[in-house]
Amino acid sequence: MAELRPTAREAVTAMHDYAGLRFYRDSILGVSFEAGTGRNRLCRFQAGQAISMLPEVFSVRSRVHEYGGGAWCLAGDQVCFVNEQDQQVWCVDLPGQGRPQQLTFAEGTRFADMLYVPVLQSVLAISECHTGVGTEASNRLVVIDLHRGSVNTLAEGADFYSSPAISPNGQQLAWVEWDHPRQPWCSTRLVLAQLNLEGEIVQRQVISDSYLEAAWAQPRFAPDGRLHAVVDRDNWWRIEVYTDTGWKALGPACPSNTEFTTAPWQFGLATYGWNAAGELLALGQCGGYSTLWRYDERGWQILRPGLEQTPTRLHSLVCQDNRMACVAEFGGCEPAILELSGSEHEDGVVPCRIVHGGSRPEFVPSLPVSLSIGEDEHEIPCFLYRPLDASPGQPLPTVIWTHGGPTATTAPVFKPAIQYWTRRGFMIVDVNYRGSTGYGRDYRMQLAGQWGCADVDDVVRVARALIQQGMADADAVFIRGNSAGGYTTLNALRHTDLFRGGASLYGVSDPARLGQLTHKFESRYLHWLIGAPDREAERYRVRSPLLNAGQIDVPVIFFQGEQDRVVLPEQTRDMAACLMARQIRVETHFFADEAHGFRRPENQAQVLEQELAFFRSIMALPAD
């Protein structure tokens, strides 16, 4: 960004991230998301450079569950990846930059969560088959032969599968599965199977506690062959080990209020592993911030990356021999790939280096400040970003941000779009309302049956508290959200007069219609969020912004993709029409080339510019 005040285009093209790291010889391989092109590039990161390993026509992205993840794996001296355009598995020889060769030709089938099995010369994957019109997709755990490209089923019958893990000797296979109407952050099963020399399952058993409603995730075998997994049996997602007498927590003194995974919206989560000494290394989240932990015979110890700026979020951990790397995000600079030393100083500081990324903006950014609004039994965590030139105690024009999901989270990390707002005098408050992840199962489950109520109550409480504390200007408080956050936004505008206006980005306005049309992964999600539609029709009616548009009396701006198959464009058109019929000021922006979630930078920039102009006009301020 060349200007001290980033333009909208600079703000959106600066956004990027990394995922799926692997070590290969003296370099690190991983996926880099390019905000400027919307591509997921498979890169080799070395000496500060990101060298693309694939021709530009390829983008590494899976669409299993629509959200994908785990879209590539290292298989000896080649890489196997899912090509976004055809959803098939392709291979390219290392060191890369050769011509990829298509491995699978499975029509109507998508792949994700890939894992290389050397003893079988095969790749394990989750497949999702879309073959029949009007029928639900079928999900399976499959094995792909690297020589013939054949796809054979290992496990089927459950509605969903994820997280295959193979033992060091190749004789045991573990995975996670679950069925409708459950979601993977509510209740799953962990399965352990025995394999023969041909890699076929000869015996299998469910080893998760059958009496326990718990969300199991990330099964992994330690170098000594013991199976580990993450489970939220005691409210927090913690790592346990499977023994002859059942599951056992790693102790003593497990880190309190810390979670070692997050809601698995995507495949390929990687938050723990082992070094050459057999020590377990894990990324934990507490209060929205990430911490690196080590577990050995002495118990749990915090490790701190030796950097000038402390990371606020860590993910995509990879451990191999005595090497360790992860993706680090910060409050005041762009994300980076960190390589950490296998040894640390006595004070727990781990020497590390930035392999790629970590650039600082050319302006001083607004750093996130953690806040908890409310009382002890009902605290609402959020992150506040103030304009740097604001006087202490000065009430500020404020925008409440409501994240999507809604079973997701927002983290205190550098977001160029937020800086775009704060550099123009607005305070941004990013809220983790009830149902958000990272604060324990109990907090997450408080959204069960309460979507459109608990989340709305929380964002209203935050706005009211900031006004009462003199931090927010009571005449200039706004709210905005995308997807599920748009639903929260529209419902909040119905139930309070605190907000001067709102912005809905492809927001849900008719949840009953959404439940009828959405994809398999979320097709029963609303049963948990609101209730079974056939039994709770009145509840759906009462919580529908579209059916209660007469309760909104402030201006609203809408942004919608014409290709959206989750929130159909007619929902947004109908919502806008209902408001306009009552002479409520409405502004709509439809993008012919966008679906659910905007990917083109010119469209993302337009959203920022139009939303800012809309709110400023409500305040009777001149355009920026």
Q: What pLDDT, in 10s, does the model give residues 147-162?
A: 999 999 999 999 999 9
Residue ranges of the domains in the chain?
369-618
Cα atoms in the 13 Å half-sphere on the side-chain side of 62: 31
Given a cut of 80, whether residue 132 has pLDDT beyond it is no
- pLDDT number for residue 592: 94
At 3, the pLDDT band (50, 70, 90 cuts) reads very low
User: How many C-beta atoms lie closer than 10 Å to residue 485's C-beta?
Assistant: 30
- pLDDT number for residue 112: 98
- pLDDT number for residue 620: 86
- pLDDT number for residue 152: 96
Q: State the average pLDDT over residues 83-109.
A: 92
Tokens representing 2 are 């060349």
**Taking the model in full, what pTM does it have?**
0.94
164, 141 in Cβ contact below 8 A?
yes
Helix axis angle, 454-468 relative to 484-495, nearest 10°? 60
Element (DSSP H or E) covering residue 602: helix 601-618
Lowest model confidence (mean pLDDT) among 135-139, 295-299, 325-329, 374-378: 374-378
Given a cut of 60, whether residue 105 has pLDDT beyond it is yes
Lowest model confidence (mean pLDDT) among 37-51, 109-123, 230-244: 37-51
> Which of 570, 569, 508 shows the shortest CA–CA distance to 540?
508
Given a cut of 80, whether residue 543 has pLDDT beyond it is yes
| Mean pLDDT rounded to a whole number for the chain | 93
| Cα gap 502→499, rounded to integer Å | 7
The secondary structure of residue 623, as a DSSP letter, is P
- pLDDT number for residue 481: 97
255, 286 in Cβ contact below 8 A?
yes
pLDDT digit string, tens, across residues 369-427: 999 998 767 899 999 999 999 988 899 999 999 999 999 999 999 999 999 999 999 99
Helical H runs in 1-138? 8-13
- pLDDT number for residue 162: 98
Q: Which amino acid is at 469?
A: Q
- pLDDT number for residue 1: 37
User: How many C-beta atoms lie closer than 10 Å to residue 148's C-beta?
Assistant: 9
Helical H runs in 268-371? none
Given a cut of 90, whether residue 303 has pLDDT beyond it is yes
Q: State the average pLDDT over residues 527-554.
A: 95
Q: State the average pLDDT over residues 277-293.
A: 95
Give one word for 422, left, alpha or beta, with left for phi > 0 and alpha for psi -120 to 50. alpha
Q: Report domain 369-618's class.
A: alpha beta
**Is the N-terminal amide bond of 252 cis, ω within 30° of 0?**
yes
| Cα gap 138→148, rounded to integer Å | 23
The share of the chain scoring above pLDDT 90, in percent, equals 81
* Residue 11 phi, psi dihedral angles, 5° rounding: -65, -40
Q: Classify 452 as helix, strand or coil.
A: coil
Strand residue runs (E) in 7-100: 16-24, 27-34, 40-46, 49-52, 72-75, 78-82, 89-93
Tokens representing 512 are 């009953």
- pLDDT number for residue 374: 86
